[in-house]
């Protein structure tokens, strides 16, 4: 009897349509390596920036550019990276992306001056934009409908773990000072992961056909890149070295490029953002909310780290541990809120924004009272609540924003939202750190932090005003 039951159990597992073979597990691991590298490298400079500046110089300008340069490059090129995968083959673009990302990581780790590391970060972001879009497309093409849920279920825990481990590992590496290299091993370690990922992808990823009919809007991408570069360079240069002719000209040029980009999207044969999407009130509201929310999210997390290290004089590892409650809150909230998305719809977005606002104002009250004497333990509850709100918004804004988008436009909408999220990170890290440093020089670190908090709270309130314009629910499963 026992043997029969055992045989039935074995047979049912073998016939399970959702079962992943060893080859499929390796493909999933290859995709996760790429996403983990991206997530960790987008967050490690939040902790490492002060140590890097102390080593190779660059001052406030380098601190602002370390995060902004990576996000700027990946945000501008993310949509076109997906199109290149369709045109030339996803396997080929994945291999190109991970090879370039690995080389760029070596450039960052071996950098001897600010120019070299910023160049490395820009190259990292550029190849990351080739690498990241291919992952989901490869899974969709390789896994069956029954296997996909099991594959995608691995993303949440692994990405959540990477978001926690990235800053903590960076802090521990810096404090350990391995071989006297200080911060450099946190970039150089990517070489090992990159080589493993490249070899595995070369041997296992399926060959796919290129699509020569896929058209690329090179002019639109160039206009978008010039727009963002002009605005962000002008903002950082002006706030750091004074509002001379160069930064003002860059900002004006960025505004002109934004107008030109808008016209290009309206009349181009293959625009990056379809004009019909921009006429969709729900999608446009979601796009604006993503821009505002992810800008303040990334900028705020960055200045919390700077406040810990530059004002409270925490070591990098202590600062990383102090920021861990944010990541834990994001993970917990994401797991709780994801199943509620279908029933609550845009109410979940409002709940996330209100929770984020509550955490933000709690932190404001604590720092207003304690100033530069605040301890980690006192700030943990507010930082944790902040993470809970962020997790709810991260889990909901994207899906709700495309709730009214037609099936034919889903790909363009998804790519646009992903690109905006990255561009928002560049904008937010530039603007919020600029406010932090400017106020800090005049009124001290505690005042700088409370000012940043009020700016963040104001943007969140504006985002709350957009909730009523969002689609009521996420798109129905097809």
How many Cα atoms are found within 13 Å in the side-chain-facing hemisphere of 399? 24
Residue 102 to residue 34: CA distance in whole angstroms:
11
| 164 and 285 together in one domain | no
Predicted pLDDT of residue 408 = 66
Predicted pLDDT of residue 42 = 78
Asked if residue 256 belongs to a domain, the reply is no
Backbone phi and psi for residue 18, each to the nearest 5 degrees, phi listed first: -90, 0
Predicted pLDDT of residue 478 = 47
Predicted pLDDT of residue 341 = 80
Domain boundary among 183, 198, 216: 216
Q: Is the pLDDT of residue 11 over 50?
A: no
Asked if residue 246 belongs to a domain, the reply is no
| 162 and 288 together in one domain | no
Asked if residue 260 belongs to a domain, the reply is no
* DSSP assignment letter at 340: G
| 210 and 282 together in one domain | no
Domain boundary among 167, 187, 216: 216
What average pLDDT is seen over the chain? 83
Asked if residue 376 belongs to a domain, the reply is yes
Predicted pLDDT of residue 475 = 61
Q: What is the mean pLDDT of residues 283-301?
A: 86
| 308 and 428 together in one domain | yes
> Tokens 């079962």 label which residue?
19
If you compute the radius of gyration of the chain from its CA atoms, what whole number of angstroms results? 22
pTM (predicted TM-score): 0.78
Domain boundary among 171, 199, 216: 216
Predicted pLDDT of residue 461 = 94
- pLDDT top residue among 92 and 8: 92
- pLDDT top residue among 309 and 147: 309
| 285 and 196 together in one domain | no
Confidence of residue 16 (pLDDT cuts 50, 70, 90): low
> Tokens 């900028």 label which residue?
299
| 427 and 317 together in one domain | yes
| 152 and 294 together in one domain | no
Tokens of 379: 């700030």
CATH of the domain at 88: 1.20.1250.20
- If one counts the domains in the chain, the total is 2
Q: What whole-number percentage of the chain has pLDDT above 90?
A: 23
| 175 and 307 together in one domain | no
3-state secondary structure of 404: coil
Q: Is the pLDDT of residue 12 over 60?
A: no
Predicted pLDDT of residue 10 = 43
Predicted pLDDT of residue 160 = 60
* DSSP assignment letter at 205: S
Judged on CB neighbours under 10 Å (0-12, 13-18, 19+), 44 is buried
Tokens of 465: 């005003």
| 204 and 284 together in one domain | no
- pLDDT top residue among 167 and 188: 188
Using one digit for the tens of pLDDT, what is the confidence trace for 402-430? Answer: 777 776 666 667 667 777 777 787 788 78
| 45 and 140 together in one domain | yes
| 48 and 147 together in one domain | yes
Residue numbers of the domain that contains 466: 276-478
Residue 186 to residue 108: CA distance in whole angstroms:
10
Whether 186 contacts 173, CB under 8 Å: yes
| 298 and 159 together in one domain | no
How many CB atoms are located within 10 Å of the residue 145 CB?
9
Predicted pLDDT of residue 268 = 79
Residue 209 to residue 191: CA distance in whole angstroms:
29
Asked if residue 322 belongs to a domain, the reply is yes
Using one digit for the tens of pLDDT, what is the confidence trace for 316-346? Answer: 888 888 888 888 888 888 888 878 888 888 8
Using one digit for the tens of pLDDT, what is the confidence trace for 456-471? Answer: 999 999 999 999 888 8
Predicted pLDDT of residue 153 = 66
Q: Which of 39-43, 111-115, 435-439 has the highest mean pLDDT?
A: 111-115
Q: Output the DSSP codes for 134-168.
A: HHHHHHHHHS-TTTHHHHHTTHHHHHHHHHHHHHH
Confidence of residue 377 (pLDDT cuts 50, 70, 90): confident
Confidence of residue 302 (pLDDT cuts 50, 70, 90): confident
Asked if residue 345 belongs to a domain, the reply is yes
Asked if residue 13 belongs to a domain, the reply is no
- pLDDT top residue among 9 and 89: 89
Asked if residue 15 belongs to a domain, the reply is no
Using one digit for the tens of pLDDT, what is the confidence trace for 65-123? Answer: 888 888 888 877 877 887 788 888 889 999 999 999 999 999 999 999 999 999 999 99
Q: What is the mean pLDDT of residues 220-224?
A: 84
């Amino acid at each position: 009897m026992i043997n029969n039951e055992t045989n039935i159990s074995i047979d049912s597992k073998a016939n399970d349509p959702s079962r992943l073979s060893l080859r499929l597990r390796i493909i999933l691991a290859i995709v996760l390596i790429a996403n983990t590298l991206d997530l960790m490298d987008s967050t490690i400079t939040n902790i490492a920036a002060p140590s890097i500046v102390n080593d190779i110089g660059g001052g406030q300008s380098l601190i602002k550019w370390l995060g902004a340069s990576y996000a700027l490059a990946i945000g501008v090129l993310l949509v076109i990276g997906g199109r290149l995968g369709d045109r030339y083959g996803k396997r080929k673009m994945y291999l190109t992306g991970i090879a370039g990302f690995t080389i760029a990581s070596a450039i960052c780790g071996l950098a001897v001056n600010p120019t070299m590391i910023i160049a490395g970060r820009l190259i990292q972001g550029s190849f990351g934009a080739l690498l990241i879009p291919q992952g989901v497309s490869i899974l969709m093409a390789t896994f069956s409908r029954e296997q996909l849920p099991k594959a995608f279920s691995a993303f949440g825990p692994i990405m959540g773990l990477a978001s926690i481990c990235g800053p903590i590992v960076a802090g521990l590496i810096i404090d350990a000072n391995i071989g006297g290299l200080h911060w450099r091993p946190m970039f150089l370690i990517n070489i090992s992961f990159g080589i493993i990922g490249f070899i595995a992808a070369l041997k296992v990823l399926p060959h796919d056909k290129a699509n020569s009919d896929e058209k690329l809007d090179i002019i639109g991408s160039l206009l978008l890149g010039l727009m963002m570069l002009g605005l962000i360079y002008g903002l950082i240069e002006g706030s750091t070295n004074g509002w001379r002719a160069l930064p003002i000209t860059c900002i004006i040029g960025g505004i002109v490029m934004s107008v030109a980009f808008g016209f290009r999207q309206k009349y181009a044969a293959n625009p990056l953002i379809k004009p019909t999407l921009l006429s969709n009130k729900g999608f446009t509201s979601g796009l604006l909310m993503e821009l505002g929310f992810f800008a303040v999210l990334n900028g705020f997390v960055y200045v919390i780290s700077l406040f810990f290290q530059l004002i409270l004089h925490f070591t990098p590892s202590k600062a990383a541990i102090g920021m861990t409650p944010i990541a834990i809150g994001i993970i917990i909230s994401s797991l709780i809120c994801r199943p509620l998305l279908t029933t609550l719809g845009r109410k979940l977005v409002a709940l996330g924004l209100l929770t984020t606002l509550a955490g933000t104002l709690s932190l404001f009250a604590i720092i207003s009272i304690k100033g530069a004497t605040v301890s980690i333990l006192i700030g943990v509850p507010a930082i944790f609540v902040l993470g809970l709100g962020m997790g709810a918004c991260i889990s909901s804004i994207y899906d709700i924003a495309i709730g009214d988008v037609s099936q034919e436009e889903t790909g363009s909408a998804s790519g646009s939202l992903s690109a905006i999220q990255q561009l928002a990170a560049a904008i937010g890290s530039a603007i919020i750190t600029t406010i932090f440093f400017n106020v800090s020089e005049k009124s001290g670190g505690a005042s700088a932090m409370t000012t940043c908090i009020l700016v963040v709270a104001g943007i969140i309130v504006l985002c709350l005003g957009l909730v009523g314009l969002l689609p009521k629910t996420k798109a129905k499963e097809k």
